[in-house]
Amino acid sequence: MESKKYWILTCDTSRYDIHTLFNENGFCLWNQRRNFEVGDVVYIYESKPISKIVYKAIVEEINIKRNKPENIDNFYKRDYNKKYAFKLKYEATNLGNRLKFAELQEKFGISGMSLISIPQITEKEMVDFFECVFAGNVEDLPEPPTKEELYHPLESGSLLEHIKHKMDFCEIRDSHLSKQSGISTSSIGKARKGETIKSDNVLTILDALGFGFVDCTDESIVYDASEIADTIKNRIIISGIRTTDLALLCNASPSVISHLKNDGVTPKLDVLEKLIHHFGFKVILKERT
C-alpha cells in the first residue's frame, strides 16, 4: 500500500444528496472529520436501504472554511453549520452487487458500528479487493432477493399486527412509509407499536404496504384495503341483516352500524375488524407487479 490513506465514509442520502452532487458537479464538500489528507482515497458507503459501497472518491482539498451554507452546501439537510469541510472529487461508481454490507461483513468482518465511525482501511487485501471491484476485475454477484421478496404475511392476526410484522421484517422506516402513504409519522409510529389510530389511516397504511382483502368464499377477487369499508357496507345492505343484530354481534352501538350502512362512515378499528371477520374477509398480500 502507498503512503496515502484509505477510508470508508458512510452517507445517509436522506440527509445529503451525494448522487446529485457527483452527477452534476463531480465533487462534494463534507464536514471535516478524521485526519483526511489530500490524495487520500475514500470509499463512500450508502446506508439503508442500499447498504453498499457505491462510490470511490479522492480527497482534493482540506480545511475549507465555510462562511454560509449556500450552493452545493444546500444539499445538507442538517449540520451544514460546521466550520470546515473537505472536498471529495468523484472517481468511480460501483454499479454491481459487490461491496454490499453482507459481503463486507462476511469477507472482512466489518460491522455496522465500525462503518459509522469512518474506519481507515489498513489491510492491503481489502484495498486490493475494493480496487478490483471498481476496476471491473471481479465477477459480479447475482442480485440477492430483497426483504420484500422474502416477506410472507402472517397467517392470522389483527390489522395492526400485519402492519407491524411487515414493517419490522422489511425494515421499513416510519418516515418512508409516511411519504408513501400520506399518513403522519406519529400515526405510523403508533400503528407500529400496536396503538389504536383512525381506521381510515390503518386501511391507507395497509394499501401502502401492499395488503388487500379477499372473501374467504371466493378468493378470485382482491379488494384494496381502502375498499373494504364500502364493500362491507354493500354486504350489510345485500344481506338484509338488521342493524341492531349486527351491532350486537360487533359489540357496537346501532348508530355506528347505521353510519356505515347509510353514510359510508368507517367505524372504529375494533368494530371494523369484527365486521371484516363476520363477513368472511381476510388480509392477504396483493400480487406484486
Q: Is the pLDDT of residue 220 over 60?
A: yes
For 53-120, the DSSP string reads: EEEEEEEEEEEEEPSSS-GGGGGBSS-TT-SEEEEEEEEEE--SSTTBHHHHHHHH---HHHHHT-PE
Spatial separation of the C-alpha atoms in residues 119 and 8, rounded to whole Å: 6
Q: Residue 289: its pLDDT value, please?
A: 40
Over residues 80-93, mean pLDDT: 85
Proportion of the chain above pLDDT 90, given as a percent: 78
Could you tell me the pLDDT band of residue 73, with boundaries at 50, 70 and 90?
very low
Q: What is the mean pLDDT of the chain?
A: 91
Beta bridge partners of 8: 43
Contact (Cβ atoms closer than 8 angstroms) between residue 55 and residue 43: yes
- Which CATH code is given to the segment(s) 6-134? 3.10.590.10
Q: Residue 35: its pLDDT value, please?
A: 87
Over residues 172-190, mean pLDDT: 95
Could you tell me the pLDDT band of residue 1, with boundaries at 50, 70 and 90?
low
Spatial separation of the C-alpha atoms in residues 233 and 261, rounded to whole Å: 5
Q: Is the pLDDT of residue 243 over 50?
A: yes
> What are the tens digits of pLDDT across the range 120-151?
999 999 999 999 999 999 999 998 788 889 99
Could you tell me the pLDDT band of residue 118, with boundaries at 50, 70 and 90?
confident
Higher pLDDT, 3 or 74: 3
Each domain of the chain, given as residue ranges in start order, spans 6-134, 148-285
Could you tell me the pLDDT band of residue 235, with boundaries at 50, 70 and 90?
very high
Q: 72: how many CB neighbours lie within 10 A of its CB?
A: 17
In the chain, which ranges are continuous DSSP H helix? 18-25, 101-108, 112-116, 124-134, 147-150, 159-169, 174-181, 185-192, 199-208, 228-239, 243-249, 254-263, 269-278
Q: Is the pLDDT of residue 116 over 90?
A: no
* 112-148 as b/e: b if 16+ CB within 10 A: eeebeeebebeeeebbebbbebbeeeeeeeeeeeeee
Q: CA Rg, the chain, in Å?
A: 26
CA distances in angstroms from 61 to 75, 123, 139, 218, 229, listed in the order given: 19, 25, 34, 66, 60
Over residues 3-23, mean pLDDT: 91
Q: Residue 75: its pLDDT value, please?
A: 46
CA distances in angstroms from 286 to 159, 182, 267, listed in the order given: 15, 20, 24
Residue 281's Cβ-side half-sphere holds a number of Cα atoms within 13 Å equal to 25
Q: Is the pLDDT of residue 102 over 80?
A: yes
φ/ψ bin of 280: left (φ > 0), alpha (ψ from -120 to 50), beta (otherwise): left
Over residues 257-263, mean pLDDT: 96
Could you tell me the pLDDT band of residue 70, with boundaries at 50, 70 and 90?
very low
Q: Residue 144: its pLDDT value, please?
A: 79
Spatial separation of the C-alpha atoms in residues 136 and 94, rounded to whole Å: 9
Q: Is the pLDDT of residue 18 over 70?
A: yes
Q: Residue 91: its pLDDT value, please?
A: 98
Could you tell me the pLDDT band of residue 13, with boundaries at 50, 70 and 90?
confident
